[in-house]
Amino acid sequence: MTLDEITVRIDKVVAEGDGLGRLPDGRVVFVERALPGELVAIRIIKQSKDYARAEIVRIVEANDRRVEPPCAYVASGCGGCDLQHAAVDLQRKIKHDIVFESLVRLGKATDPLVLDCPDDLPLDSCRTTMRWAIDDHGALGFRAQGSHRVVSVDDCLVAHPALRELRHSLAPGARSGIEEVSLRVATASGERSVWWEPSDVALGAVPARTEVGPQGVVHEEIDGHRLRVSAASFFQASATGATALVRAVRRAAGDPTIWTSDPVIDLYGGVGLFALTVVPADHPVIVVESNASAVADAKVNLRDRPATIVRSEVARWRPVPASVVVADPSRTGLGAAAVAVVAATKAPVLVLVSCDPASLGRDVGLLARAGYRFEYTEVLDLFPHTHHVEAVSRFVRDERLSPL
Ligand SMILES: C[S@@+](CC[C@H](N)C(=O)[O-])C[C@H]1O[C@@H](n2cnc3c(N)ncnc32)[C@H](O)[C@@H]1O
């Protein structure tokens, strides 16, 4: 052991995927790629008076679910999948525990019910939408962990075979000025799109039968429903993940035959994924979405439905009475302004889709104060091999909690 080495025991893995331990002086230390229970010799790489960051020099006692990463690019420094050193059962337990702890610590929930998604989600070859970075030689790859450096990646483990093929067809070339390229494939139609910014810089040869630019459209089929998705619109990262998410939202929304006749409100509705798949075809639905491209897609996707598509920030939308609210915000979560909007709908049921456990925990607390009682969260491993986790939570309006 060298003088600058310290040995620490790892208590748990925290939301960003690092192991958490304590230094001899009591400060918290976040250790890259350390797993729960491990005893590791570490080297501090950054510190402040409250906490430190460290890398592993040596593993003294390994978690027995530590594995050799299945993807060779982890050894080259690719930071795309930061939990590959954990067996899949441990990856899922880590994510479950992170969600549970956020609900308790930030949401002040008492012994919250946290369920695992019953669907058999794929581990590899599933991603149908991916944003790739471009290295100095014009090749596509991903950023190294905690750095801007791009690691060129030819064959990504988690990419769908059609997306791998699309990536292969983009040979290195002169691409100065382009930092990232978004690739999307639709498993149902075989269509594909490529989009980068700034769009006036040439990407090089783009393969035939590929839509180019923000308006490039593909059509995906999710749970029997066809959706138009433009390149500039958000869409779930995999078709299998979107299907699992739709089913989880449907479970949480409950039996539509007992919903009131008020519309379902799909906040942060994107291209209308939940409005189309979760809401029965004859039930009114209002989609609230701020992105112009997604709004245009939602209008097409819901054209045969009693649907109203509103282009607005959620916090600026004027609430109306609702039977169910489904809300799927970005990583920042709902926050106080959007919680006030949800509460003003007086919807008996709220389904909250969260991609950030800390935002979920905070929102659970805000919702409780606004009259929404937490019932349960279902955890979905939509981003295998990474620390990212999706959670679908059900809340019911409880007059006794409500200040309104
Ligand atoms: C996580 S995505 C969910 C989209 C959709 N529910 C789906 O599953 O495909 C979040 C969506 O919210 C939109 N958005 C982000 N901030 C917003 C805001 N403040 N008000 C309304 N929409 C917003 C984004 O454009 C994006 O389409």
Distance 11 CA to ligand 1 centre (A): 35
For residues 266 and 353, state if they share a domain. yes
In a shared domain, residues 22 and 164: no
* pLDDT of amino acid 298: 98
Mean pLDDT of the chain: 94
Q: Within a domain: residue 43?
A: yes
- Same domain for 327 and 195: no
Atom of ligand 1 nearest to the CA of 291: 25
| Pair 319, 344: CB distance under 8 Å | yes
Residue where a domain stops, chosen among 230, 255, 272: 230
User: Domain total for the chain?
Assistant: 3
Residue 175: what pLDDT?
A: 72
For residues 148 and 222, state if they share a domain: yes
**383 CB less than 6 Å from ligand 1?**
no
Q: How far is the CA of 296 from the centre of ligand 1 (A)?
A: 13
Q: Residue 277 pLDDT > 80, yes or no? A: yes
One domain for residues 9 and 104: no
How far, in Å, is the centroid of ligand 1 from the Cα of 235?
A: 9
Pocket test for ligand 1, best of 236, 249, 289, 392 (most atoms within 8 A of CB): 289
Q: For residue 79, is it within any domain?
A: no
What integer is the mean pLDDT of 150-168?
Answer: 94
pLDDT bracket for residue 200 (50, 70, 90): confident
How many Å lie between the centroid of ligand 1 and the Cα of residue 48?
A: 35
* Domain housing 134: 129-230
Q: Do both 309 and 348 map to the same domain?
A: yes
Q: Find the helix or strand (DSSP H, E) in which 182 lies.
A: strand 180-185
Q: How confident is the model at residue 404 (pLDDT cuts 50, 70, 90)?
A: low
Same-domain status, 192 and 256: no
Task: For residue 289, give the CATH number of its domain.
Answer: 3.40.50.150
Of 230, 261, 283, which residue constitutes the final position of a domain?
Answer: 230
DSSP sequence for 20-53: EEE-TTS-EEEETT--TT-EEEEEEEEE-SSEEE
**Average pLDDT rounded to a whole number, residues 139-143:** 93
Lowest mean pLDDT, pick from 46-60, 172-186, 307-321, 342-356: 172-186
- Calculate how far, in angstroms, residue 129's C-alpha sits from the geometric centre of ligand 1: 16
CA of 328 to the centre of ligand 1 (A): 6
Per-residue pLDDT at 292 exceeds 80: yes
Are 258 and 213 found together in one domain?
Answer: no
Residue 209 falls in which region: left (phi positive, over 0), alpha (psi -120 to 50) or beta? left
Same structural domain, 115 and 256: yes
29 located within any domain: yes
Domain assignment of residue 69, yes or no: no
Per-residue DSSP letter, 179 = -
Q: What is the number of residues in the chain?
A: 404
The predicted model gives 201-213 an average pLDDT of: 83
| 331-337 CB contacts, 8 Å cutoff, 24+ apart | 331/355, 331/356, 331/359, 332/356, 332/359, 333/359, 333/360, 333/362, 333/363, 334/359, 334/363, 334/366, 334/367, 335/362, 335/363, 335/366, 336/366
Residue nearest atom 1 of ligand 1, based on CA coordinates: 330
Q: Does any domain span residue 83?
A: no
Confidence of residue 41 (pLDDT cuts 50, 70, 90): very high
Does residue 316 sit in the same domain as residue 367? yes
User: Domain check: are 141 and 262 in the same one?
Assistant: no
Are residues 66 and 84 in contact, defined by beta-carbon separation less than 8 angstroms?
no
The domain that contains 60 carries what CATH number? 2.40.50.140
How confident is the model over 387-399, as a mean pLDDT? 96
- Asked if pLDDT for residue 16 goes beyond 80, the answer is yes
Is ligand 1 within 6 A of the CB of residue 294? yes
Strands in 198-299 per DSSP E: 211-212, 217-222, 225-230, 264-267, 285-289
Q: Is the pLDDT of residue 137 over 90?
A: no
Q: Which atom of ligand 1 is nearest to the CA of 314?
A: 20
Q: Residue 403 pLDDT more than 90?
A: no
**In this structure, what token pair is assigned to residue 257?**
């035959």
Asked if residue 290 has its Cβ within 6 Å of ligand 1, the reply is yes
Mean pLDDT lowest for which of 209-213, 287-291, 363-367? 209-213
With a 6 Å cutoff on the Cβ, whether 132 touches ligand 1 is no
Is the pLDDT at 173 greater than 80, yes or no? no
How sure is the predictor about 199, in pLDDT bands with cuts at 50, 70 and 90? Answer: confident
Could you tell me if residue 404 is inside a domain?
no
Ligand 1 centroid, distance to 320 Cα (angstroms): 19
Q: Do 342 and 386 lie in a common domain?
A: yes
Instruction: Give a yes or no: residue 214 inside a domain.
Output: yes
Which of 243, 266, 268 to probe ligand 1 with, by most ligand atoms within 8 A of CB?
A: 268
- Decide if 289 is inside a domain: yes
Does the structure show a pLDDT above 80 at 5? yes
Taking CA atoms only, the protein residue closest to ligand 1 atom 26 is: 270
User: What pLDDT score was predicted for residue 287?
Assistant: 98
- Express each pLDDT in 78-107 by its tens digit: 999 999 999 999 999 999 999 999 999 999
Q: Which amino acid is at 126?
A: C
Q: Could you say which of 230, 258, 278 is where a domain stops?
A: 230
> Best substitution site from 330, 382, 388 to test ligand 1's pocket, by max atoms within 8 Å of Cβ?
330
Q: How far apart are CA 404 and CA 387, in angstroms?
A: 38
Provide Rg for the chain, Cα atoms: 22
